[in-house]
């Protein structure tokens, strides 16, 4: 560890000596609204029009071209949406930085021609590793068929290769063998503990605000820590820095509004103002509208004909200030609330938080500095008929700094540090009604360094993270590596892998046919003293941290113009998992000292494996888009005694999504999605019995005493499978375009077109079944101004 710390500091300090040559750096903004123009290619030509080099803008609109010798150049920015920029650049010093800023004007009446320029995605594919990573912007999310005439990012997640969803309700996503607690959801760098509403169709995120979303289903580099399965990194855009605007919309599912506008003085040259604000709010309407529109939906509400018992509210606000040299500061806050009242269970949760983000661009340094300070609080409760109340609560803070140093060509060095602390409190019960509860405070410290080297056909990205967990006296070294080889102009081979750890575990029960309650807690200490994994190796776990290894191999094929295929095979070995102890029948007290740990500890250590192969076929034209996904996977868990299939082990999963635009202005859009999934495992009910508490002790007459409760005899754990799941969704949109960029959008959607009955939840005591949503037609209207 001392060697690593020395190497880490040496690498960071040596960054200042990497190639003392001139650097051309700048930012690109949209003149109309002041938003950064992201993921566009910037080229630098010599005076004789010979291409010298180039760079791609990041999510902040930043580009950097290092190692530029003295001479005369011109910088070219050519995109499909903006007017061509050709700007002369004179480099008179062998060292130093030339700062530039451009406000691009959109092309009026632009006619997009297929294949005119290399897309940003094609360029990233050649210069970045891109293993198990999907990037989506707002336009891509809106091409997925809407649910209830409302676009939402959850639709994009559910069609991502390797992602399994348990259905329409509950909002639970399982990524390549990882459970929901093992997925890290970030909003502008801040961890969102509960990103999905109970209804399952909608997340807490506002689609209108999304600038970019990066989804990593495995093999992610050391920049990300604290989770062992996947990362979803969402970036919101800033408010309009030129003029006041917004959007309001309504459907039977919800009503929402977005308002934005500039802050600060108007500039004489017409460039965007220095500041902006943006506000968004949405509230569900189903608890009102469904009483009339969807009153025939059975098994969901508390009484027949009462409609659909869902309600939620999301509020978000942000202010942003931009400096002349690209420096940026923003502050944001949010509040989310969710409640559902089934006939057999009630579930409620709320989340509140906020923070600040900043981007520093020192004039005399080649290093870009990003930082954040955030805090939030989340609480959830679950009450099922015939069962005691379960609850979970978490609140804490996160402080982080990230540094980026640009090197030759597309290479770069990034490193950073983050410190976080949080309180967790939970109360739950296992199937034997034994109470499991705890409250504690935990801290985490993480440091990482990542180096992306681009040379010839190779892209190599080694990275290393040290994750410290002081509360359990553990320091975890986490080496990771990503490699890409551009074999030909049309074929790229890639691989990645590494070590991952996390402090969180779930307070849910895998005995439930479907998990509605998914509380969270820090690494438990009340675990067994010995564990034998599925390979027969015995060890003594010191804590309840969850750990995993990833290994991924893949290939990208450009099959034809606008047609690409991505294939990835993966293996995840979860060498330590913590799970609720369903075998607990004794309290962990001195009087039961001779009882084996597996019958008295609150949690058990497990291990597991997940492996499979994912196929993604994409076809993109100006008017037609096709997204075809097939995933073949298998997941197993070992609890020290038997191997079993976890509740998310879906062997086959297919998603087909197609979009087509009609009309000269492409203002009519048709979206279709079909999803098929093979049956999920569950533990069947073998029988029932009447429990006897013997209130009179040994003199109790069991032949005449009557219990008011019913016991359940369970069959072999997760030995049965639910029926296969499949559903067809369709959406039609039409936009009326007016002057001054105003727009009226009409949306008609049908969810579950052929009314498939997919099982969602079964109450073991009453055998009541809740089905997924039946056919749901909907209509929505939106006004953008």
Q: Which residues of 257-292 are buried (b: 16+ CB within 10 A; e: fewer)?
A: bbbbbbeeeeeeeebbbbbbbbbbbbebbbbebbee
Name the band, by pLDDT with cuts 50, 70 and 90, for residue 304.
Answer: very low
145-167 mean pLDDT: 84
Does pLDDT of 233 surpass 90?
Answer: yes
Spacing of C-alpha 40 from chain mean position: 24
In a domain, 688, yes or no: no
pLDDT of residue 376: 94
Highest mean pLDDT among 81-85, 389-393, 397-401 belongs to 397-401
Using the Cα atoms of residue 12, residue 13, residue 19 and residue 21 in order, give the sign of their dihedral: positive
684-690 mean pLDDT: 79
pLDDT of residue 178: 92
In a domain, 232, yes or no: yes
Backbone φ and ψ of 283, nearest 5°: -140, 135
Q: How far apart are CA 95 and CA 93, in angstroms?
A: 5
pLDDT of residue 224: 96
Number of domains in the chain: 1
Name the band, by pLDDT with cuts 50, 70 and 90, for residue 713.
Answer: confident
pLDDT of residue 74: 92
Name the band, by pLDDT with cuts 50, 70 and 90, for residue 708.
Answer: low
pLDDT of residue 109: 60
Q: Tokens 């569900």 label which residue?
A: 284
Name the band, by pLDDT with cuts 50, 70 and 90, for residue 498.
Answer: very high
**Are 112 and 740 a contacting pair, CB within 8 Å?**
no
38-66 mean pLDDT: 88
Q: Going by C-beta distance under 8 Å and a sequence separation of 6 or more, which residues neighbour residue 225?
A: 418, 446, 448, 465, 467, 478, 500, 501
In a domain, 109, yes or no: no
**Are 662 and 553 a contacting pair, CB within 8 Å?**
no
Taking all residues of the chain, what is their mean pLDDT, rounded to a whole number? 85
pLDDT of residue 300: 47
Does pLDDT of 363 surpass 90?
Answer: no
CATH number at residue 596: 2.40.170.20
pLDDT of residue 302: 44
Give the range among 15-19, 342-346, 411-415, 685-689 with minimum mean pLDDT.
Answer: 15-19
Here the tokens at position 692 are 């006897």
Name the band, by pLDDT with cuts 50, 70 and 90, for residue 512.
Answer: low
- Within 10 angstroms of residue 607's Cβ, the number of other Cβ atoms is 23
Burial class (CB in 10 A: 0-12, 13-18, 19+), 211: middle
Q: What is the longest distance spanned by two Cα atoms in the chain?
A: 104
Does pLDDT of 401 surpass 50?
Answer: yes
Does pLDDT of 699 surpass 70?
Answer: no
Give the range among 264-268, 343-347, 734-738 with minimum mean pLDDT.
Answer: 343-347
pLDDT of residue 364: 79
**Are 23 and 35 a contacting pair, CB within 8 Å?**
no
pLDDT of residue 536: 85
Q: Give residue-wise pLDDT tens across range 723-781.
A: 999 999 999 999 998 887 799 999 999 989 999 988 877 777 677 777 887 888 999 99
pLDDT of residue 299: 47
Give the range among 89-98, 332-341, 400-409, 695-704 with minimum mean pLDDT.
Answer: 695-704
Give the percent of the chain with pLDDT over 90: 46
pLDDT of residue 20: 55
* Residue 502 lies in domain: 133-683+720-784
411-434 mean pLDDT: 83
In a domain, 478, yes or no: yes
* Greater pLDDT, 147 or 651: 651
Does pLDDT of 552 surpass 50?
Answer: yes
Here the tokens at position 270 are 């017409």
Backbone φ and ψ of 399, nearest 5°: -120, 130
In a domain, 647, yes or no: yes
pLDDT of residue 116: 42
pLDDT of residue 277: 97
Rama region for 157: left / alpha / beta (φ>0; ψ in -120 to 50; rest): alpha
Q: Going by C-beta distance under 8 Å and a sequence separation of 6 or more, which residues neighbour residue 365?
A: none
In a domain, 295, yes or no: yes
505-527 mean pLDDT: 68
Q: How far apart are CA 255 and CA 58, in angstroms?
A: 33
Helix (H) or strand (E) holding 67, with range, is strand 62-68
Backbone φ and ψ of 80, nearest 5°: -80, -20
Does pLDDT of 21 surpass 70?
Answer: yes
Using the Cα atoms of residue 557, residue 559, residue 561 and residue 565 in order, give the sign of their dihedral: negative
pLDDT of residue 117: 44
Q: How far apart are CA 117 and CA 490, in angstroms?
A: 16
Name the band, by pLDDT with cuts 50, 70 and 90, for residue 518.
Answer: low
In a domain, 138, yes or no: yes
Q: How many CA atoms lie within 13 A of 777 on its CB side?
A: 3
In a domain, 98, yes or no: no
* Greater pLDDT, 490 or 515: 490
Name the band, by pLDDT with cuts 50, 70 and 90, for residue 692.
Answer: low
* Greater pLDDT, 325 or 281: 281
3-state helix/strand/coil string of 668-736: EEEEEEEEEECCCEECCEEEEECCCCCCCHHHCCCCCCCCCCCEEEECCCCCEECCCEEEEEEEEEEEE
647-660 mean pLDDT: 94
Backbone φ and ψ of 17, nearest 5°: -105, 5
Name the band, by pLDDT with cuts 50, 70 and 90, for residue 698.
Answer: low
Does pLDDT of 301 surpass 60?
Answer: no
Helix (H) or strand (E) holding 280, with range, is strand 275-284
């Amino acid at each position: 560890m001392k060697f690593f710390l020395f190497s880490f500091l040496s690498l960071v300090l040596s960054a200042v000596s990497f190639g003392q040559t001139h650097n051309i750096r700048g930012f690109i903004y949209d003149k109309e609204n002041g938003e950064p123009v992201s993921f566009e290619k910037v080229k630098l030509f010599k005076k004789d029009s010979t291409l010298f080099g180039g760079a791609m803008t990041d999510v902040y609109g930043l580009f950097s071209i290092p190692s530029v010798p003295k001479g005369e150049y011109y910088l070219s920015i050519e995109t499909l949406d903006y007017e061509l920029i050709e700007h002369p650049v004179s480099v008179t010093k062998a060292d130093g930085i030339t700062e530039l800023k451009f406000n691009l004007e959109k092309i009026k009446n632009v006619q997009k021609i297929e294949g005119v320029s290399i897309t940003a995605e094609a360029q990233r594919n050649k210069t970045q590793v891109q293993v198990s990573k999907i990037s989506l912007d707002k336009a891509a999310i809106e091409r997925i068929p809407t649910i209830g005439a409302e676009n939402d990012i959850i639709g994009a997640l559910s069609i991502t290769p390797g992602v399994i969803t348990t259905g329409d309700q509950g909002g639970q996503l399982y990524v390549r063998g990882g459970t929901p607690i093992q997925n890290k959801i970030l909003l502008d760098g801040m961890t969102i503990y509960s990103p999905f509403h109970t209804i399952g169709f909608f997340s807490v995120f506002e689609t209108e605000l999304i600038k970019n979303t990066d989804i990593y289903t495995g093999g992610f580099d050391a920049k990300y820590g604290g989770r062992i399965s996947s990362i979803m990194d969402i970036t919101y855009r800033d408010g309009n820095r030129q003029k006041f605007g917004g959007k309001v919309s309504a459907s039977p599912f919800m009503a929402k509004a977005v308002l934005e506008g500039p802050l600060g003085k108007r500039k004489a040259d017409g460039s965007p103002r220095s500041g902006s604000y943006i506000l968004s709010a949405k509230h569900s309407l189903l608890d009102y509208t469904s009483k009339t529109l969807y009153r025939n939906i059975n098994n969901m509400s508390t009484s027949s004909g009462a409609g659909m018992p869902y309600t939620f509210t999301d509020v978000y606000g942000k202010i942003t200030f931009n400096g002349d040299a690209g420096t940026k500061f923003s502050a944001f806050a949010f509040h989310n609330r969710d409640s559902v009242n089934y006939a057999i269970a009630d579930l409620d949760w709320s989340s509140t938080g906020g923070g600040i983000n900043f981007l520093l661009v020192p004039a005399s340094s080649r290093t870009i500095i990003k930082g954040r300070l955030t805090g939030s609080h989340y609480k959830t409760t679950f009450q099922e008929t015939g069962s005691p109340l379960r609850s979970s609560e978490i609140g804490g803070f996160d402080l982080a700094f990230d540094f980026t140093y640009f090197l030759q060509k597309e290479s770069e060095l990034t490193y950073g540090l983050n410190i976080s602390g949080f309180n967790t409190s939970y109360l739950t019960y296992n199937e034997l009604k034994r109470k499991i509860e705890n409250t504690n405070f935990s801290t985490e410290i993480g440091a990482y360094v990542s180096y992306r080297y681009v040379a010839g056909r190779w892209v190599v990205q080694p990275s290393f993270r040290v994750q410290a967990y002081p509360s359990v006296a553990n320091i975890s070294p986490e080496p990771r590596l990503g490699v890409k080889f551009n074999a030909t102009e049309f074929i790229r081979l890639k691989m990645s892998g590494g070590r991952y750890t996390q402090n969180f575990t779930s307070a849910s029960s895998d005995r439930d046919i479907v998990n509605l309650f998914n509380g969270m807690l820090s690494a438990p200490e009340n675990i067994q003293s010995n564990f034998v994994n599925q390979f027969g190796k015995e060890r003594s776990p010191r804590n309840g941290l969850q750990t995993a290894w990833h290994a991924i191999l893949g290939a990208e094929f450009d099959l034809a113009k606008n047609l690409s295929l991505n294939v990835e095979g993966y293996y995840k070995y979860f060498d330590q998992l913590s799970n609720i102890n369903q075998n607990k029948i004794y309290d962990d007290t001195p009087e039961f000292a001779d009882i084996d740990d597996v019958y008295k500890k609150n949690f058990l250590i497990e291990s597991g494996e997940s492996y499979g192969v994912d196929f993604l076929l994409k076809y993109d034209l100006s008017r037609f888009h096709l997204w075809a996904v097939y995933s073949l996977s298998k997941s197993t868990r070992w609890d020290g005694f038997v191997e079993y299939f976890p509740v998310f082990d879906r062997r086959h999963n297919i998603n087909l999504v197609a979009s087509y635009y009609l009309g000269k202005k492409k203002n009519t859009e048709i979206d279709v999605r079909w999803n098929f999934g093979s049956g999920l495992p569950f533990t069947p009910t073998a029988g029932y019995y009447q429990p006897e508490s013997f209130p009179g002790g040994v003199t109790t007459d069991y032949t005449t005493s009557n219990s008011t409760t019913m016991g359940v005899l369970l069959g072999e754990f997760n030995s049965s499978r639910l029926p296969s799941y499949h559903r067809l969704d369709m959406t039609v949109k039409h936009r009326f375009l007016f002057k001054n960029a105003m727009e009226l959008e009409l949306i008609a959607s049908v969810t579950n077109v052929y009314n498939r009955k997919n099982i969602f939840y079964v109450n073991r005591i009453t055998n009541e079944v809740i089905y997924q949503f039946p056919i749901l037609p909907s209509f929505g209207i939106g006004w953008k101004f």
